Amino acid sequence: MSKMYLSLPEEFSYEMNFQFLERSPRELLHRVENNSVVKLLKAGDEKVLFRIRPGDGKLMLDFLNGTPSAEAKSFVRAYVTEWFDLETDLKPFYTMASGDKILKALVDRFYGYRIMGQPDLFESIVWAVLGQQINLQFAYTLKQRFVEQFGERLFWNEQSYFLFPTARLVAELKDEVLLPLQFSRQKSRYTITIAEAFASGELSKEKLKGLTLEDAKEKLMKIKGVGNWTANYALMKTFRYRDAFPLEDAGVHNAIKNLKKMDRKPTLDEVRKFFKKYKGWEAYATLYLWKSL
């Protein structure tokens, strides 16, 4: 069996990040089994199925459905590096957190937790749209139906493994095929509109690379259905903008309420004030607040 090894930064907890991947039994884009994660990717025309497991300070990747080409291996290496947030230096964040009572306690509890990302920008934005104004488990149900219906799959070892639907395919869909999956008409319209922007080349990961957070948000928010929360979420999860800050996020509000022992949710101004001391690291502060829940 062909293998690959990825070095891990010192501030990395396989257990903490693995817990995130176990969030829902409805997740179809990876399969968690026996302290390992199995994932299908498509590199050019090659479908590559691989398992990720921990070992001796490294991530070990086993290629399951044959030996991939050198190009495909390179694609998988880059994807997993992004997915597991292996290139962010958390030392400055932890130094900043050490001077803050609330964040220090969270870092002590969840040391090595990182932004488990979504390297595919189209997937990231659609997932954010699916999660708008509904609970997380119903969002996973919508995603499961969407992926099963429109995603490519690989059948291996008596299991099906899925790819997220492509923007080109989704751009051709009509509301009538998404509504029976329990998409609201608004979510259906937004999903198709976002796919059209990607399929036409109006929007792409490459076009946002290197932009400031504000410029990247401005480009995303030109697409109908992408508001401030969705844009910040996608930029945090796909590009690791350290200052991406989903101000309106209900989870952030609940975490602040709990940690500060408030008898009500904070106002938006109170949330802004709370985050002032985390300037430049808002995305990672948000991550640890979410984890506290």
> Which sign, positive or negative, has the C-alpha torsion 89, 90, 92, 93?
positive
Residue 266 tokens read as 């904070």
Instruction: Exactly one of 89, 215, 249, 269 is catalytic; name it.
Output: 249
Helices (H) and strands (E) in the chain, counts: 15, 7
Q: Which residues contact 171 (CB under 8 A, 6 or more apart)?
A: 192, 195, 196, 198, 199, 200
- The interaxial angle of helices 136-150 and 121-130, nearest 10 deg, is 130
CA 243, CA 279: separation in Å to the nearest integer? 7
Burial 136-174 (b: 16+ CB within 10 A, else e): eeebbbbbbbbbeebbeebeeeeeebbbbbbbeebbebe
Active-site annotation holds for 120? no
CA 248, CA 266: separation in Å to the nearest integer? 11
Q: Cα 197 vs. chain centroid, distance in angstroms? A: 20
Maximal C-alpha separation, the chain: 57
Residue 148 tokens read as 């099963």
Q: Which positions are annotated as active-site residues?
A: 249
